[in-house]
Amino acid sequence: MDLLSPKISVEYVQNATITTLTDQKILEQADIQALENSIMPLVDSSAKINLIMDFSNVKFLTSAVLGLLIRISKKVYESQGRLRLCGIDAKILEIFKITRLDRVFEIYEDRYDALQGLK
């Protein structure tokens, strides 16, 4: 297994940091840990970060990823930042709705929509 998986790309657009998850599957604990190790330093390095996480490549994930998203969200909000999710596959979005996490997270159809209104 690739220890750097899941891979993300990071872009800085306008006043936002966009992390695009490049793997289709985030299933293993090692993948989730690698994702956390990639994203948390971004959050730590920037006060009031506007973080957009683009899931457009992701087709499968485990519930442990939802736990990671909650931890990331907590860290972002503690630094007075904003977290927005976008590009979530319809089947995965259904999980967000069932768990009511669609009410916790700001979810947008695509990165363009997610960028709108950020200061």
Per-residue HEC secondary structure of the chain comes to CCCCCCCEEEEEECCEEEEEECCCEECCHHHHHHHHHHHHHHHHCCCCCEEEEECCCCCEECHHHHHHHHHHHHHHHHCCCEEEEECCCHHHHHHHHHCCHHHCCEEECCHHHHHCCCC
Whole-model pTM: value is: 0.91
Q: How far is CA 54 from CA 8, 19, 42, in A?
A: 9, 6, 15
Considering the domain boundaries, does residue 2 fall inside one?
Answer: no
Considering the domain boundaries, does residue 102 fall inside one?
Answer: yes
Considering the domain boundaries, does residue 92 fall inside one?
Answer: yes
Residue 6 has a pLDDT of: 53
Count of structural domains within the chain = 1
Q: Which domain range does residue 28 map to?
A: 8-115
User: Which CATH number is 61's domain given?
Assistant: 3.30.750.24
Considering the domain boundaries, does residue 57 fall inside one?
Answer: yes
Q: Would you state the structure tokens that stand for residue 40, as one six-digit string?
A: 């948390």
Displacement of CA 34 from its chain's centroid (Å): 13
| Gap between the Cα atoms of 50 and 26, Å rounded | 23
| Gap between the Cα atoms of 100 and 113, Å rounded | 21
**CB of 86 closer than 8 Å to CB of 56:** yes
Write out pLDDT tens, residues 49-81: 999 999 999 999 999 999 999 999 999 999 999
Instruction: Look at residue 5 and tell me whether its pLDDT is greater than 50.
Output: no
Considering the domain boundaries, does residue 60 fall inside one?
Answer: yes
